[in-house]
Amino acid sequence: MKQVSIIGIGLIGGSFALDLKDYMSGVHIIGIDQNEAHLKEALELEIIDQIGDLDSLKTADLVVLAIPVNAAIKALPQVLELIADHTVVIDMGSTKEAICKAVATHPRRAQFLATHPIAGTEFSGPSAAIKGLFKNKTNIICEVEKTLPVLGEEMLALFKTMGMRLRFMPANDHDKHIAYVSHLSHISSFMLGKTVIDKEKNERNIFDMAGSGFESTVRLAKSSPDMWTPIFEQNKANIIETLTEYIQNLNQFKAYMEQDDFEAVYNEMKNTNHIKQILKGIA
Amino acid sequence: MKQVSIIGIGLIGGSFALDLKDYMSGVHIIGIDQNEAHLKEALELEIIDQIGDLDSLKTADLVVLAIPVNAAIKALPQVLELIADHTVVIDMGSTKEAICKAVATHPRRAQFLATHPIAGTEFSGPSAAIKGLFKNKTNIICEVEKTLPVLGEEMLALFKTMGMRLRFMPANDHDKHIAYVSHLSHISSFMLGKTVIDKEKNERNIFDMAGSGFESTVRLAKSSPDMWTPIFEQNKANIIETLTEYIQNLNQFKAYMEQDDFEAVYNEMKNTNHIKQILKGIA
């Protein structure tokens, strides 16, 4: 593998580029992005070797889609038209059903592998790229059976080299579960931030009172709306289900408090405490 | 100051003891706790110099109350009965109105200083005690005007020596604001944990899919129900208000999604993004 074209050289695409350089000697990385400032920055930071355009896809061995999921489902069919017969294309989006559907009947479907590395931070852009971001992280692979084995295996070997754990599941299962363990957390965090900002907007210095606990729960509210709005749109049904259940649980907790049933309040917390054991598995 | 009695030698009391030893040469720390295993552990860890009982309060220069807030409002009036005329008593609870009310007319009210150092972790017990826990943290002091100046000033100087920033406010203001920037975060986190555990209980391995974002938002769900239930009980009215607003915001967000109004979804997030600037002030 010699030429890799990365479409979207932000946090994820940029971090992937840094790891590629570490694990693949002689690789030549071409960056493609609508944001010219980001392209220049990525070149200066030596994340990419060259600024390119869609023409570069004709000679690419690997094409990486690391753009917001709405842009990805539009771009992928076009990308598949432009590539050579030996090229493999991967995406890295946080939703998998829509992108798999978008190319379900595409003649070059077998050259695409749908992936979702569970890695990232609340920051964005090439300056947020981190070497080793994917190490010890889980990469969820969907519809692996629809990818040409030789291409799929090459990618899975690459992910393992980068230190990722691999999980395989159908795209609709991915979207259902990820709504609970990722998308809901983001909404919870954004709305927590909103609630506090709305209340305390005239008393900005009140945030002196906030400690690390508050920071931890609202950290995700720093995330990029450009990235997250299309995710919420594509995973609408699953997210609405999680939100409904979350709001129900909050209403129940509030009702216990209103009824002065603090034994129930205690039990709600006690029963959730074993999240400790569950979280132990998360790096 | 030579003898300090600390009632409750868990995370907060234990960490305070460790700092006292650092900043006050020759101090002798007596630990008092209902949990004998914790007392032995604290002695072994050299957090305290001696295991004691309420008799030790008679000769104490400083008494520190670091027990759950329901126990603290019961203990404080009794503690004030036992101390000498020169002794100062501080509490460190996460609610301030109830404890100030509990001793409002006590003859020894002027020997008490109500404090809330905004510091801690989701862990508990003496083994969770950390040296330097209070460094660069905010300590909120309530009703300072009701404490004998010579005693209050001695305590404030001690807190500053430990590296704390001091904020002064009425107890009811403290409880109102802390509901937003701390108590609500804990409920949000517990209910998020509950929602995900309930949904995924038959698919435990699904937590492989959880990343650092999920971990960050549910971290506080590891917190001790013994500590938090009485806090929620004492700050019931304020917390119900914050919960009501939080649930309203979540319902609004969900409604935007149901109406396919993703421009509104985007704006909700964009408008909350400046939490970045606000959080910069938090260590």
Using alpha carbons, select from A231, A255, A109, A102 the residue that is nearest to residue A174. A231
Residues of chain A with pLDDT under 50: 283
Return the residue of B nearest to A245 by Cα.
Answer: B195
Residue B53 CB-half CA count within 13 A: 2
Return the residue of A nearest to B277 by Cα.
Answer: A222
List Cβ neighbours of A239 (8 Å cut-off, separation of 6 or more).
A179, A183, A184, A187, A232, B257
Q: Which of B196, B226, B257 is closest, CB to CB, to A239? A: B257
Q: Do A188 and B192 touch (CB under 8 A)?
A: yes
Per-residue pLDDT tens over the stretch A22-70: 998 899 999 999 999 999 999 999 999 999 999 999 999 999 999 999 9
Q: Do A178 and B209 touch (CB under 8 A)?
A: yes
Q: Identify the residue among B133, B184, B195 best suited for mutation to test binding to A, counting A beta carbons within 10 A and taking the highest.
A: B195
What is the structure's pLDDT at A210? 85
CB atoms within 10 A of CB A150: 10
Per-residue pLDDT tens over the stretch A185-207: 999 999 999 999 888 776 655 67
Using alpha carbons, select from A31, A26, A194, A160 the residue that is nearest to residue B184. A194
Query: Which CATH architecture best describes the domain B174-279?
Result: Orthogonal Bundle (1.10)
Kindly list the residues from chain B whose CB atom is less than 8 angstroms away from the CB atom of residue A191. 246, 249-250, 253, 268, 272
Q: Do A210 and B276 touch (CB under 8 A)?
A: no
Q: Which of B182, B207, B272 is closest, CB to CB, to A214? A: B182
Q: How many CB pairs under 8 A join A and B?
A: 309
**Average pLDDT, consecutive stretches of 10 residues, N- to C-terminus, chain B (283 residues):** 94 97 94 97 97 96 97 98 98 98 98 96 91 96 98 97 96 95 95 90 70 90 94 98 97 98 97 83 53
Q: Do A191 and B216 touch (CB under 8 A)?
A: no
For the packed helices B69-82 and B225-234, what is the interaxial angle rounded to 10 degrees? 80
Q: Which of A193, A209, A253 is closest, CB to CB, to B275? A: A193
Return the residue of A nearest to B274 by Cα.
Answer: A222
Q: Do B283 and A250 touch (CB under 8 A)?
A: no
Q: Do B221 and A253 touch (CB under 8 A)?
A: no
Domain positions in chain A are: 3-170, 174-279
Kindly list the residues from chain B whose CB atom is less than 8 angstroms away from the CB atom of residue A270. 225
Contact B213, A183 (CB under 8 A): no
Rounded-to-integer distance, Cα B112 and Cα B7, Å:
14
Q: Do B229 and A265 touch (CB under 8 A)?
A: yes
> B3-170 has which CATH code?
3.40.50.720
